[in-house]
Amino acid sequence: MSSNDYINSRCNVTANYTGGSKFERNMHGVFNILTKDAPPSGFANVTKGKGSGRVYGQAQCRGDIDPEGCNSCIRNSTLDIVQKYCPNASDAIIWYENYQLRYSNTDFFGHLNVEDSGNWFWINDKVKEPNAFNQKLGSLLKNLASQATTEPNSKFMLATGNITSTD
């Protein structure tokens, strides 16, 4: 996978904005700020507007992505999410291999997002032995969590790995 590989998106189809609205203008303002502010550290969140035009936005790049790559990724994702995947949605999130972008008309900062959890990286019916696969996956994730938080050279609190399967 390359850093620009699309993984998934979620669009709230019950919440839409209209073209030319305050929300749309503020959303593009949020995208501009995120594109500028996220690259140095790999993370930014911003709020713009008031009332029904208020937009909350967040961008995050993986810790080992350089600022130029992060800027490019965020810029591209702002176009993809509104033009390709979630047109007119006032609440959406998009994931790529090395970054994610989220915006909404409701405040999601500091709130645990359980709506978008689940196993959308794979489909259990395509794995011959899902229990064995999930056991291997659990072991991998445990090891990665340990590596990311304890290794001295892991200043980004990041670790990568893979598992192999006979499926």
Distances (CA, A) of 127 to 25, 39, 75, 133: 45, 37, 35, 7
Q: What is the pLDDT of residues 115-162, one digit of tens each?
A: 665 555 555 567 778 788 888 888 999 999 888 888 776 666 778 888
The pLDDT of residue 20 is 95
What integer pLDDT is reported at residue 80 of this predicted model? 95
**Closest to 43 measured CA to CA, from 6, 3, 73:** 73
Cα-flanking dihedrals φ and ψ of residue 165, to 5°?
-140, 155
Query: Which of 98, 106, 105, 117 has its CA nearest to residue 4?
Result: 98
β-partners of residue 94 are 9, 101
Contacting residues for 160 by C-beta, under 8 A, at least 6 apart: 144
Confirm if 137 and 124 have CB atoms less than 8 A apart. Answer: no
The structure's pTM equals 0.76
Residue range 17-71, pLDDT digits in tens: 999 999 999 999 999 999 999 988 889 999 999 999 999 999 999 888 899 999 9
Q: Could you name the CATH architecture of 6-104?
A: 2-Layer Sandwich (3.30)
Would you kindly state where each structural domain of the chain is located, as residue ranges? Answer: 6-104, 122-167
Residue 57 has a pLDDT of 97
pLDDT at 85: 96
Q: Are 116 and 7 within 8 A, CB to CB?
A: no
